[in-house]
Structure formats: C-alpha cells, structure tokens
A and B are shown apart, each in its own frame.
Chain A
Amino acid sequence: MFKIIFHRNNCIGCGTCYELQPEFWRMSNRDGKASLVNACKKRCVFIRSVGISVLPQMKDVVHSCPVNIIKIQ
C-alpha cells in the first residue's frame, strides 16, 4: 500500500490527472479543480491509500501534474 497526498488548494484545474486516471480523479464542476475520489481530508490536504498495482500509473500522474501538488508516500 502507498498513500497519495493531494494539495488541492493549488490545483489549476488542467484536468491531466483525470485524463490519465479517471478511476481515481474527478473534475469538480463546483470549483473547477480536481478531486481525489474516496480521499480523506486532513487540513488542506487530501489523502488516500491505494494498492501497489497502480503505482506506475500514479507515478505518471504525479509527473504530469503541472503544479506538482500530487505526492506519493
């Protein structure tokens, strides 16, 4: 298992994470930012634990985020 840590406040709503991994990400129609599906909110950060099988795909998402707000732990 590993954690995805998403600093949502700084999202610019480019939609790349959703394009690459629609099963984990949604584009919010409310504020135009990405949302991490089934994540827990801790202060301003969203966290979700996922299985190791999606790690390569998630790394692509991390590298594709133009504002570097998605981290893997």
Chain B
Amino acid sequence: MIKKKIEILSPAGSLDCIQAAVQAGADAVYFGVEQLNMRARSTHSFKINDMKEVSTLCKANGIKTYLTLNTEIYDHDMQLMRGILKEVLKNNIDAVIASDFAVISYCSDLNIPLHISTQANVCNLESVRLYSKYADVVVLARELTLSQIKQITSEIKRQSILGVSGELMKVEVFVHGSLCMAISGKCYLSLHTHNASANRGACFQNCRHLYKVINCETNEELSIDNKYIMSSKDLCTIDILDQIAHSGVDILKIEGRTKGADYIYSVTKCYKEALQSIDEGTFSYDKIENWKTELAKVYNRGFWEGHYLGQMTGQWTSHYGSIATEKKIYIGKGSNYFSKMKVGEFIVEAGKINVFDTIMVIGPICGVQRLQMLKLVVNGVEASEATKGDKVTFPFATKISANDKLYKIFKNRDV
C-alpha cells in the first residue's frame, strides 16, 4: 500500500491529448503556450488565448493544469511572460513550471503556485530548501538515483521543509518518455549546428542521428558498435514503479508534449493501472509484462530504467526513430454523426480500410477510441473494403466532427 496519494502528470500538446489523458486517468496535465516553453518548435502549439479552453476542459474533468514556462527568458520576453502569467491567474491554472528566476520572481509576486522545472537541475536537499521559499514542488534532476531521491524526500519530511503553501515540499520525478543525453536537458548541440537553442524549445535533435568518430590527424575511425552514440533509449520505469512509489515522491511525470493522443492514452493508462496495482498489493511480473507490451506499441526508441538504479552509463538506441510495435496510418476524417443510432460517418481520404481491421479514432471530444471494424458499411452498403472517397459508417459512442481523425492500426514489421 502506498502511504500517500501519488499524482500522474501527463503531457498535453493538443486538446486531443488532454481528452486522452482524462480518459486514461491522469490526475493533472502540463502544457505550454506561445514560444516560451520547451516545445516551441512543435507544430501543435497552444496560444495564450487557448488557456481558457484548456482550463475549462480540465476543470470539467476534475484534473489539474500546470503551465510550462521553463525556457531561458530574454529581456524582450518579459512582457509576454508577464502577460502569460496574468492569464494563468485569470484562468485558474493550478501552477506554473519554471526554471528562470525572472519567472520564479514574478510568480512569487503574483502568488502563483510554482513548480521548479527539471531544467533547474535540482540534485540535493539544499537546493530544495532554497526553492521552497518560492515553490511547492521541485522536479528532481533525471540523473538522480532512487536512493538519492529517497534521501531527499525523507529529509524534507524530517526537517519539515515547507513550500509556499505551508505544506511539505513535494517531489516530482520523470517516469516515462524520451531522455536527452545532456544533463537536465542543458544541451547546446542544436545551437551549434542550427543556431537553434534547445533551451528555447527549438531542439533539432542532432543526438538522434548516426555518428562516426574519426581521428582527423590519422583519418582512423574509432570502432563503435553502435553509431547512435548520443541517442538515449527512452525512460520506462514500470518495472521499478513500486520502488519509485515507495521512495516518497508525490508526482510521476510522463514526458511527451509532442507525442500523439494515442501515446498519451496508452502510457498514462499503464502507469495509472500500475500505481493502483501497487496500492492494492497486486503488482506482479505478469502485469508488468502486459504493461510493457502495451507501452511498446506506441512511440519509443527502446526502453531502459534511466539512472534510478544507478547504472554507470546510459543506454543508446540502435535504430533511428521509433521502434513501436504498432503503427497507425491516417485514413480519413469525421463527416457526420447520427445521434439517434449512435453511428459515426467518416470520409476515407487516404489508403484503404478492410473489414476486421483495427482502427483508432482520435479527436478533441472522443479522445482516443480503439475498436475493431467487425462490420464495414461503405456508402450505405455492407462491404469488405473502403478506399479513397468512400464514406464509411460504424457504431460510435461519442459525437464526431471534422476534427476527429480515423487511423488504421497495424503491426510494425520493421522492428
């Protein structure tokens, strides 16, 4: 049994992702707006005016919302930063995640609850004590081991280190998602090669490519088995989640604001179930294997447990991109919904779909719905296949619109 309530914090890059997180049982979501967040390059980016909709949606579903404002902040960003924080207050966003002292200071002035970002590289109790004057939560550096985390959480309790709210300082750790080879994400590779600072959310992901190490004097190539020498495998802690849950942490963070709603749903669901199972005392090897199979279906570069168990070096990927065991391809979008019959109509815009195919519908209202096409009705007639231009209808519980996308799921044969 876990002694205290542990929160699952899911990433949200779009409204679809928020719905997916809600469906999967997340306790909170974090999101960024405008260019002052670590996913500024992302194609799905919330704007300052979207804050109200995000807040309303989350409040209606009883989950908390945290806004990331954790890039390096320049002088010309101050007005935007202040504008964003005023909107945070107006829209009742539960907290801001920051690392720059300008943001920390302004949040403190406005009495906005603050979480110290992993970008601040908090590795010890004294840093937690310093930040406790401004914040309620610290996201610990990803390089810490579980015993170091335990030491910090137990000392927070023993020394009664209180945050701004008057409650004990809370500790958040990353449990799943992409890792970066740089300490706490402080990477300058992308800035050197593309003038695109990772610390302004514009990372070009240079580390994810193949590299050779060549001696320029002799032209000899250093023999390296794996040429992905900088691309870390993804963090997956589901095997050791019981140890993490008992280490005294309060919030488990899932990485992936640029990932799709299907990823958010699967990962959040697995970790939520795992946490419940630890609480009930039913956490078992068989369950872990099932969760790992589910996690492997969505975007991943292979898994390792990060630094929690004290591994000396990181583990590197052997492939470029994802090695997810399943792929999804876009088929079409929603066109009509027959509410009385609860039937959805979709227009096929690409590829084809066959009867018995596994499909997924992703949208801002329905979230993520996965089902098998047991009966395929094409243009009003039962058929075995639908191609571009066809209208397919099938029973569907929630209302659909043109914002709902239909995907076909199939096994990834490349891995």
Contacts and interface: CB of A to CB of B under 8 A. Distances in A.
Given A64-B195, A67-B202, A11 B80 contact: no
A17 to B, nearest CB: 10
Given A66-B194, A66-B195, A66-B196, A15 B74 contact: yes
A32 interface: yes
B53 interface: no
Contacts of A27: 74, 76
Contacts of B259: none
B79 A32 contact: yes
A53 interface: no
A27 B41 CA distance: 19
Interface residues on B, range: 20 to 34
A11 B201 CA distance: 12
A30 interface: yes
The prevalent SS among residues of A at the interface is: loop
Interface residues of A, number: 17
Contacts of A67: 41, 196, 202
Interface string B31-60: 000111000110000000000000000000
Which of B76, B197, B201 gathers most chain A CB within 10 Å? Answer: B76
A15 B76 contact: yes
Given A12-B40, A66-B202, A67-B202, A29 B197 contact: no
Interface string B184-215: 00000010001111001110100000000000
Given A12-B200, A13-B35, A67-B202, A28 B76 contact: yes
B142 to A, nearest CB: 24
Which of B34, B78, B190 gathers most chain A CB within 10 Å? Answer: B34
Contacts of B200: 12-14, 66
A12 B194 CA distance: 14
A48 interface: no
Contact of A32 (B36, B41, B195, B204): B36
Interface of B: 34-36, 40-41, 74, 76-81, 83, 190, 194-197, 200-202, 204
20 contacts: A11-B35, A12-B35, A12-B201, A13-B74, A13-B200, A14-B200, A16-B195, A27-B74, A29-B78, A29-B79, A30-B80, A31-B80, A31-B83, A32-B34, A32-B35, A32-B76, A32-B79, A65-B195, A66-B204, A67-B196
Given A14-B197, A67-B202, 6 more contacts: A11-B35, A12-B40, A13-B200, A14-B202, A64-B195, A66-B190
